[in-house]
Chain A
Amino acid sequence: MSGTFVGMPAFPKAAHEAVNNATLRGNLRHATHTIRAKRAKAVGEISDWAELREAGKRIKDHTLRHLDRYLTQLEESVTAAGGVVHWAADAEEANRIVTALVKMTGESEVVKVKSMATQEIGLNEALEAAGIHAYETDLAELIVQLGKDRPSHILVPAIHRNRGEIRDIFVREMGEWGRPAPEGLTDTPAELAEAARLHLREKFLRAKVGISGANFMVAETGTLVVVESEGNGRMCLTLPETLISVVGIEKIVPSWRDLEVFLQTLPRSSTAERMNPYTSMWTGTTDGDGPQTFHLVLLDNGRTDTLADEVGRQALRCIRCSACLNVCPVYERAGGHAYGSVYPGPIGAILSPQLRGTASEIDASLPFASSLCGACYEVCPVAIDIPEVLVHLRERIAQGGRATRDGNTVVLKPAKGHAAERAAMRAARWAFSHPGALGAGQRLASRTRRFHPRTLPGPGRAWSATRELPTVPAESFREWWQRTRGGKDATK
């Protein structure tokens, strides 16, 4: 998969570097704690959260279990509404399709609204190689792109940059890409946002091609939905003449009505808002309003392989709200970059190794980058049992077993004695030896979970304590920590 960050060190090494970066750590701590508190309030405001969560889970499960049917239905309804549907089995094919579509317009630049799918396939790089400039228009993505950097959080990709750094990047780089930063730019967020507005407006007004992802696709009506805050999404979806949307096949919901669940759970779980500032919905093309050409590229790229795993397929329910990142003690310490993929945090730890397989050290180590505290499952608005999938993947990495790669069944060898094993061990050790991330009073609800591993299945048995594997206690991580270290937090 071309979205892999080539040469990415395995989780513990990357995490170790992050821990030594004081700015990153401070920003992350501030950010995750702020969002966490706000989110709890937004979720607490509605009394039927549990019912909405259950409905969201069931809608997604039902869709996944009948995905072939809903994909063909979606194709029909998008086509009937004036769109053109393309199918891409992998990243390479998706990039080829999009590049050809852009070339057909004769344009050499495109505006993009933040999309994890296009980051996953490395679309910007592929377009660049074909001589097409892709401009990221989300403020955070702009910061990341200008800073020649990688995103570190699903929702706040520039979470690792503080205002001083952002100002410096704008002053240094904006002129290279278009309208330079205003004279005397300071580091107040309002001025920085204004600088981005001016810089990007020029690009929106002349853009002929827009590229997006989508949060949801409705099979019944052919409607695509993009949820956003800044308005750059509206710009990209409305002003260009041609719109190309690259969307993972798991983003389908069966009916229009199903949006009533996710449009309530996603904003509250994600940005802790009753509703995000802007949501755009479009169905094919509309005469005289918005792009007159619409292409939908349906992306597999490891999703059907993930679907083939009866335990692991629940990861495809994810609506990318990022709540699991914000509660994760390991993420808070390690930072997003340590996960070596566009999907960081707990969801990344179960999604990347399934989408990409576990051949690389980083992917083999990801399922071990967790203390299994269960906080991610508690907050997940579609109830993905992330710890259950983590344990399942650990078992397969340690003991080997059947998996699906590119549609074929393969038998994975046990990692024992290989580099993957050592990477995995280091990740597990790392996750357990950095509990300082758990602030006082933080609620970790493993007590309520039906799933209580006493020891790591697979590795716990196969690899004895002499291999320095910390066994997972039946009590919660925090309880364990308090009991064994008396709650003394030496790292703060």
Chain B
Amino acid sequence: MNSRDLILGRVRRALADVPRDDTPPVPEQPGRDLQYEQAVDRSYLREHGARSVAETVDLLAENLADYRAIVHRSTEEELPYVIMRLLAERGPQYVLVPPGLPPEWMSAADPTRVHDRAVSTPRELDKVTSVVTGCAVAIAETGTIVLDGGPDQGRRRITLIPDHHICVVRVPDQVVASVPQALERLDPARPLTWISGPSATSDIELDRVEGVHGPRTLEVVLVSGE
């Protein structure tokens, strides 16, 4: 017997005491699993507290900052100058950009743009210290930004190897209040990276130290539509 059948057989024998499924199927909704739906009580909240849209954005800014991300606010028009300034402060020669980053975002920036090509090796990318991306969604309650590899975010590695990540969040469109709301918006088929502040460790006597492997500086620009 192969191990697959062995394990599944053991599981079935182990569950001999569990009554068989006798919940009637719902013919008009094939695929619906009533037994599962009834098994789980979802009386927990969809979001914590009632907030206006502006308050939700404020909470996002607050929680991002609480986990040591550096938060900036800008309008669509100011954005290229904000990005220019943030890059100038660190003075990198090159900046990584994903293929679908709106070109106007980088229109005022000085450093030479480097595109991540499939053939680029991690070692080559390691020479670039800054990266600019958009995001898929941002979660106010937890101060989290989520990347899903969309055209303005690029491959996962480009936001991982550089030491400085500038992430642009369109507010309020890309902001949700809570984790449940974020999952509703996300597509599990895409590779997802949830980021809450710069990388950190508390492994040495529980002292929090920013940055072991991911970017040690995370700057989030909240850009509003008008």
A: which residues have CB within 8 A of B?
27, 30-31, 34-35, 46-48, 51-52, 54-55, 58-59, 61-62, 65-68, 71-72, 75, 81, 87-89, 93, 137-140, 143, 156-158, 162-163, 166, 189-190, 192-193, 196-197, 200-201, 204-206, 218, 221, 223, 229-232, 234-235, 238-239, 249, 254-261, 263-264, 271, 273-283, 286, 288-290, 298, 300, 304-305, 307-308, 310, 313, 404, 407
Contacts and interface: CB of A to CB of B under 8 A. Distances in A.
A31 B21 CA distance: 46
Interface stretch (B87-95, B103-111, B167-175, B211-219): B211-219
B214 A289 contact: no
Given A221-B189, A281-B188, A239 B157 contact: yes
B203 A143 contact: yes
B79 to A, nearest CB: 26
A277 B10 CA distance: 38
A27 B206 CA distance: 10
Nearest to A236: B213
Nearest to A35: B206
Given A75-B4, A259-B183, A288-B118, 5 more contacts: A206-B123, A275-B139, A283-B191, A290-B191, A298-B7
Interface of B is mostly: loop
B194 A275 contact: yes
Nearest to A271: B202
Contact of A230 (B143, B183, B199): B199
Q: Which 6 A-B pairs have the closest CB atoms?
A: A231-B214, A231-B213, A308-B14, A304-B10, A279-B194, A51-B44
Contact of B207 (A189, A218, A258, A305): A189
Interface residues of B, number: 72
Contact of A281 (B45, B192, B213): B192
B43 A404 contact: no
Interface string B188-205: 111111111111111111
Given A61-B39, A93-B3, A407-B9, A277 B18 contact: no
Nearest to A45: B48
Contacts of A234: 156, 160, 193, 213-214
Contacts of A201: 126, 213
A196 B213 CA distance: 9
Q: Point out which of B43, B139, B189, B202 has the most chain A C-beta atoms below 10 A from its C-beta.
A: B202
Contacts of A278: 193-196, 199, 214
Given A139-B201, A274-B142, A235 B160 contact: yes
Given A62-B36, A204-B122, A87 B3 contact: yes
A286 B205 contact: no
7 contacts: A55-B42, A201-B126, A205-B123, A232-B213, A238-B157, A275-B144, A280-B193
B49 to A, nearest CB: 8
A34 B207 CA distance: 10
Contact of A87 (B4, B201, B202, B214): B4
A237 to B, nearest CB: 8
Nearest to B44: A51
Contact of B11 (A71, A158, A206, A229): A71
B74 to A, nearest CB: 24
A439 B36 CA distance: 43
B180 interface: yes
Contacts of A230: 199-201, 212-214
A72 B8 contact: yes
Interface of B: 2-4, 6-15, 17-18, 21, 33, 35-36, 39-45, 48, 63, 67, 118, 121-123, 126, 139, 141-144, 149, 155-157, 160, 179-180, 183, 188-207, 209, 211-214
A222 to B, nearest CB: 8
B194 A204 contact: no
A48 B45 contact: yes
A282 B48 contact: no
Q: Point out which of A88, A231, A261, A404 has the most chain B C-beta atoms below 10 A from its C-beta.
A: A231
A1 to B, nearest CB: 16
A92 to B, nearest CB: 11
B199 A231 contact: yes
A151 to B, nearest CB: 11
Given A197-B213, A234-B160, A407-B10, A34 B39 contact: no
A58 B189 contact: no
B141 to A, nearest CB: 7
A58 B42 CA distance: 10
Contacts of B204: 139, 158, 163, 166, 189, 192-193
